[in-house]
Structure 1
Amino acid sequence: GFALSEHSTVRGTIKEKPGFNPSEDAAALRKAIEGIGTTEKTLIDILTQRSNAQRQLICKAYQDATGRTLCDALEGDTNGHFEDILVALITPPAKFDCQEFIQATKGAGTTESILIELFASRSNHQIKAMCDAYLAETGRALIHDLKSEVSGDFEKTLLILAEGKRDESTNVDMAKAKEDAKILYEAGEKTWGTDESKFIDILCHRSVPQLRQTLVEYKSLSGKTLQESIEREVSGRLEEILVAIVKCVKSVPAYLAERLYKSMKGAGTTESTLTRIIVSRSEVDLQDIKAEYKKLFGTSLYSDIESETSGDFCQTLLKICGEDGK
């Protein structure tokens, strides 16, 4: 069920390797990196077929044996998107989310679509871990820095999500779902001008099972889906984040499958999005994402990656993805 997915890797594509030996792996990586010409296949085989926890032990063994970090070694020896994905693989998940957040908020202009994806698709637990990693990395509170990056109702929504305060109870209060649906209907479709604060409050605070029921009640009350109403009533970044929350309430894997599809089928492939989603969900729900992808787009994630990317980067993605259900 919903609560399970948090710590279990049942729906991931990467499992712990039995009979795992970190110093053996570290030695093989060292040979692949320091030998004449890097043996990319070795790097791919080892780093995609171990769990993240196992990769952390490999990093430690590598540093103990060589006096330099595996990250430095990979950065010195590989490049481009291939380097990025290998480094992503050896980064602890919360730290990886944190680095993606930093990347999205630095430089000219914030990449809002990444912030939306991070905060709409992560659980309270993952958001808290990302905030902890951010504090460790920068010495500052993520929420504090987020405030200076974005503004208005979009900001308000991100900040509420970043606090990780979504209700986590699994009980569904039917009367409350009806009442919330009515509040949303009256705040949007039924009035001149939309009261966005009601949408923000309900969509950011209620539990996922509760919101699922609210979506059902909304449809029977208004004849439209909540997503359709949001698309009609709200605009800009706020519309994007509220729609993303609704999609994640229905199914995080389906939402991420759509993100992957758009990252490949848009103008030019967005490799960083492929890397972020495939790596960060590899031990969470990549199996489900693959199934949703096939259902939504009629083609397999595996074959689309194969045709839209190339080289060692492509091979790494395919190895993480796994061939089943090609």
Structure 2
Amino acid sequence: MSSVWDDLDLLLDSPSSLTVNSTVRGTIKEKPSFNPAEDAAALRKAIEGIGTTEKTLIDILTQRSNAQRQLICKAYQDATGKTLCDDLEGDTHGHFEDILVALITPPAKFDCQEFTRAIKGAGTDESVLIELFASRSNHQIKAMCDAYLAETGRALIHDLKSEVSGDFEKTLLILAEGKRVESTNVDVAKAKEDAKILYEAGEKKWGTDESKFIDILCHRSVPQLRQTLVEYKSLSGKTLQESIEREMTGRLEDILVAIVKCVKSVPAYLAERLYKSMKGAGTTESTLTRIIVSRSEVDLQDIKAEYKKLFGTSLYSDIASETSGDFRQTLLKICGEDGK
């Protein structure tokens, strides 16, 4: 399984979802000749009719961009005096309700709600925190923090501090500042030096100096870190991921490995998260919903391609066999079949 993560050959020239701010690799595009009032009326009819017409809800909400869905929400409220969100919550239920509501939520607000869900309740869901902060760009992290402040009146970093501790906390807090260097210039000498620092802080030393790993992995730019991964392997004969897995344990190991994976390929990292959410004990619907919806206009096409490379099966067919009902239909519509 780890072999795909060890292949560094093509790394330096491939684009990264952490730095490219584009919707080209999404599966959902803006609908041409879009009429929000018409869509709002069709949704209203589907909700108010005898028995909700789920197919109409799915067809409209999965075939419009998020920006267009915001206009539909406004038109719906203007026409009915009620919010589409409230009416969907009143009329649908379970995972189907969750995914429809996710679709009509602005992306930054959706990330913010997922963050809140991860820290609320009994015990913190660290795996969700790791996914959110390792896979999001500076821009997305800042937008999530702004949405959190607007929603709660508190700084996200403040609430994060009370939920986590130790080196894991330190790593998350640095990522949550969204200050990863944005430059695309690569300083090879610096990459060699960083690789040496990491090697000496880990493999070469009795006991690991975690702070060096945290500092370098959370601050350097993606192109710079990719070069560092290449230099590390030629210096130590091992990949940085292998060294982290040998030297560290627990949540710190999990988050540093996630950062390394996302530096290489956010789509491959998220493909792996999707696979585990379906193939573990019981399907984790919330993970499926979060990744499929939040990446639908970012890089879901790339996630599908990486999924096939990693697991030899299509994301579409795995979703079809691991989920059911209207929830399944909605996921499949967003995902789109291979080659489409």
Tell me how far apart the structure 1 counterparts of residues 61 and 241 of structure 2 sit (CA, whole Å): 39
* Cα 1:5–1:181 shift into 2, 3 Å: closer
Asked whether the 8 Å contact 2:314–2:338 carries over to 1, the reply is no
Match of 1:94 in 2: 108
Q: Which runs of 5+ in 2 are unaligned?
A: 1-16
Tell me how far apart the structure 1 counterparts of residues 137 and 111 of structure 2 sit (CA, whole Å): 12
* Cα 1:4–1:309 shift into 2, 3 Å: closer
Asked whether the 8 Å contact 2:278–2:284 carries over to 1, the reply is yes
Tell me how far apart the structure 1 counterparts of residues 18 and 64 of structure 2 sit (CA, whole Å): 22
How many corresponding residue pairs? Answer: 324
Tell me how far apart the structure 1 counterparts of residues 259 and 27 of structure 2 sit (CA, whole Å): 25
Tell me how far apart the structure 2 counterparts of residues 165 and 4 of structure 1 sit (CA, whole Å): 12
Match of 1:243 in 2: 257
Q: Aligned runs of 1:93-132 on 2, under 5 Å? A: 93-132=107-146
Give the drift of 1:5: 6.2
Asked whether the 8 Å contact 1:6–1:284 carries over to 2, the reply is no
Tell me how far apart the structure 2 counterparts of residues 222 and 155 of structure 1 sit (CA, whole Å): 28
Give the drift of 1:6: 4.4
Give the drift of 1:108: 1.3
Give the drift of 1:325: 3.5
Q: Deviations over 1:168-226 (max 9, x none)?
A: 10000000000000000000000000000000000000000000000000000001000
* Cα 1:223–1:6 shift into 2, 3 Å: closer
Q: Deviations over 1:222-254 (max 9, x none)?
A: 010000000000110000000000000000000
Q: Deviations over 1:146-168 (max 9, x none)?
A: 11110000000000000000001
- Is 3-12 or 172-181 further displaced after alignment? 3-12
Give the drift of 1:8: 2.0
Give the drift of 1:125: 0.2
Tell me how far apart the structure 1 counterparts of residues 98 and 324 of structure 2 sit (CA, whole Å): 14
Q: Deviations over 1:275-315 (max 9, x none)?
A: 00000000000000000000000000000000000000000
* Cα 1:6–1:69 shift into 2, 3 Å: farther
Tell me how far apart the structure 1 counterparts of residues 195 and 102 of structure 2 sit (CA, whole Å): 41
Asked whether the 8 Å contact 2:18–2:266 carries over to 1, the reply is no
* Cα 1:5–1:22 shift into 2, 3 Å: farther
Aligned to 1:305, the other structure's residue is in SS state helix
TM-score, normalised relative to structure 2: 0.94
Tell me how far apart the structure 2 counterparts of residues 240 and 125 of structure 1 sit (CA, whole Å): 23
Asked whether the 8 Å contact 1:15–1:51 carries over to 2, the reply is yes
Tell me how far apart the structure 2 counterparts of residues 21 and 323 of structure 1 sit (CA, whole Å): 26
Tell me how far apart the structure 2 counterparts of residues 291 and 126 of structure 1 sit (CA, whole Å): 23
Tell me how far apart the structure 2 counterparts of residues 321 and 98 of structure 1 sit (CA, whole Å): 23
Aligned to 2:19, the other structure's residue is in SS state helix
TM-score, normalised relative to structure 1: 0.98
Q: Which runs of 5+ in 1 are unaligned?
A: none
Identity level (%): 93
Asked whether the 8 Å contact 1:253–1:285 carries over to 2, the reply is yes
Tell me how far apart the structure 1 counterparts of residues 110 and 273 of structure 2 sit (CA, whole Å): 18
Tell me how far apart the structure 1 counterparts of residues 82 and 68 of structure 2 sit (CA, whole Å): 18
Asked whether the 8 Å contact 2:85–2:101 carries over to 1, the reply is yes
Tell me how far apart the structure 1 counterparts of residues 43 and 338 of structure 2 sit (CA, whole Å): 27
Match of 1:278 in 2: 292
Tell me how far apart the structure 1 counterparts of residues 252 and 18 of structure 2 sit (CA, whole Å): 30
Give the drift of 1:324: 2.7
Tell me how far apart the structure 2 counterparts of residues 201 and 103 of structure 1 sit (CA, whole Å): 28
**Alpha-carbon RMSD:** 1.0
Give the drift of 1:323: 1.2
Tell me how far apart the structure 2 counterparts of residues 8 and 256 of structure 1 sit (CA, whole Å): 17
Give the drift of 1:7: 3.6
Aligned to 2:29, the other structure's residue is in SS state coil
> Which one of 138, 162, 170 corresponds to residue 184 of structure 2?
170
1:78 aligns with 2:106: no
Asked whether the 8 Å contact 1:300–1:325 carries over to 2, the reply is no
Tell me how far apart the structure 2 counterparts of residues 294 and 228 of structure 1 sit (CA, whole Å): 23
Asked whether the 8 Å contact 2:180–2:218 carries over to 1, the reply is yes
Tell me how far apart the structure 2 counterparts of residues 54 and 5 of structure 1 sit (CA, whole Å): 25
Aligned to 2:179, the other structure's residue is in SS state coil
Aligned to 1:165, the other structure's residue is in SS state coil
Tell me how far apart the structure 1 counterparts of residues 70 and 252 of structure 2 sit (CA, whole Å): 38
Asked whether the 8 Å contact 1:5–1:284 carries over to 2, the reply is no
